[in-house]
Amino acid sequence: MSSSHNFLRWFRGATPATKPVETPARGPRTTRRCVGLAEFMRDLRGSEDQKPCALDLGPTSPANITFLADRYLRVYNENILRGAMDPTIRTPRDDGTDGLDLEKFFASNLAYQDRHFDAILCWDAADYLPEELVKPVVEKLHRMLKPKGTLLAFFHTRDAGAESPYCRYHIVQPDTIELEPAAGFRLQRIFNNRHIENLFKDFSSRRFFLGRDNIREVILVR
Amino acid sequence: MWKIRPEDNRAGSYPSPTAQPASAPVVAATTPALATPPKEGPKPADAHRPDVARIGKSVSIRGELTGNEDLYLDGEMEGNISLRDHKLVIGPNGKIKANITARDVVVHGRVEGNISTSERVELKRASNLIGDLTTQRIVIEDGAFFKGAIDIKDSKAERTEVRRPMISASMVGGSNATAGPTLSANAVGQGSFLEPK
């Protein structure tokens, strides 16, 4: 990893994963209770006349779209990790390595107006984003949220090897999600509470819910 | 006394993870929503129906495409597509850069543009859609890629009708300002479920 990456990591704060975890191609879904989601969804409901905007940053999930639309929300879906892996946003650096062009990334990803969303489901994308994108993406998400808008994010509490594969999240009930192991992404880093507070310092409130499966759920309010 | 009951493995009344293979819920849930039995493979069933106009994969069109019959489009298209009261099927080779207006749209291929339907949109397993959707019902198969916004036109009657059978794959909505021309088509398809507001 280049020195600039290390500098960014030091500035923002995070502990690198001990070793990258290659996830299996597919696996059986497991169900878990999600207190953070329950809190996130508690007041999130629209009406026929007024539909709050909700953005799902995970892979396309029919269950999530159904669940959110059923609560009279206008649903947006954008797989941010897939966008981050797009080779066209990479440009060669002077030292011969590939760098990530933030302008190109934001031209085709998260291209929304400021204060557009009432709620954002970030899931655990921050744990898997390339280092250069973490801080800019979090700042962009903050701008995209309306005042008092909420963001739900998950963070792995430790690199649990095969027990912490990349997962797709499907909402089953307001307080229950299904985790579906999927291929393609590696855990990049582990955030502790201090790192998360630094990363989301622009948000007005942060509430942490620690699960027993090494996942920390965080609700952030703009 | 120590016998483990099957329900002990469940979280409340939620479905057991072991009872559902990775992609089973979506496929199973989409089945009741389909008007015709789904067929997997490179050639969707609509491609062979005699009453469906067909545009093959070697055809490339640029401009405005309108019609009064169902259309199977497997080629490339750039512009606008309008099939007000009819069904459009984008084949697996279809590459569409267009805004689409139709009664039903089924996507097997790639679409960049907004889709507006009066009844239903289906995104098949390998489909790729970048654009906004406005529809009454949507069926998304697991594996489909979607980037954009979904606006479900609301209808309380339909919502009640299909909520349980299609819980993980479809939604229903109703009429709003943009649904004016679609009401007559819905009245045929939905019978007495539609009520004037």
Residues B37-91 have pLDDT tens digits of 444 444 666 666 667 889 998 999 999 999 999 999 999 999 999 998 999 999 9
Structure tokens at A181: 């192991």
- What pLDDT was estimated at residue B161? 36
Q: Which residue among B22, B140, B163 sits closest to A65, beta carbon to beta carbon? A: B140
Overall domain count for chain A: 1
**Residue-level pLDDT at B37:** 43
Residue B10 CA to residue A107 CA, distance in Å, equals 44
State the pLDDT at residue B81: 94
Concatenate the DSSP letters of all residues of A81-144 into one string.
HHHHT-GGGEEE-TTSSEEE-HHHHHHHSS---TT-EEEEEEETHHHHS-HHHHHHHHHHHHHH
Q: Identify all chain A residues contacting B26, using CB atoms and an 8 Å cutoff.
A: 62-63
Of B170, B113, B124, the residue nearest B147 (C-alpha): B113
CB contact under 8 Å between B22 and A62, yes or no, is no
Token couple for A154: 């998950």
Chain B interface includes A76 (CB < 8 A): yes
Q: Where are the domains of chain B?
A: 22-175
Q: What is the pTM of this model?
A: 0.72
Instruction: Please tell me which of A143-147, B40-44, B141-145 the model is most confident about, judged by mean pLDDT.
Output: A143-147
Contact B13, B6 (CB under 8 A): no
Nearest to B140 among A30, A62, A176 (CB): A62
Tell me the C-alpha distance between A52 and A121, whole Å: 14
CATH of the domain at A17: 3.40.50
The pair of three-digit structure tokens given for residue A63, joined into one six-digit string: 């269950």
Mean of the pLDDT values across residues B9-26?
A: 37
Q: Which of B166, B182, B171, B132 is nearest to B28 (CA)?
A: B166
Q: Are B14 and A78 within 8 A, CB to CB?
A: no
Q: Do A31 and B11 touch (CB under 8 A)?
A: yes
Q: Which domain holds residue A96?
A: 3-221
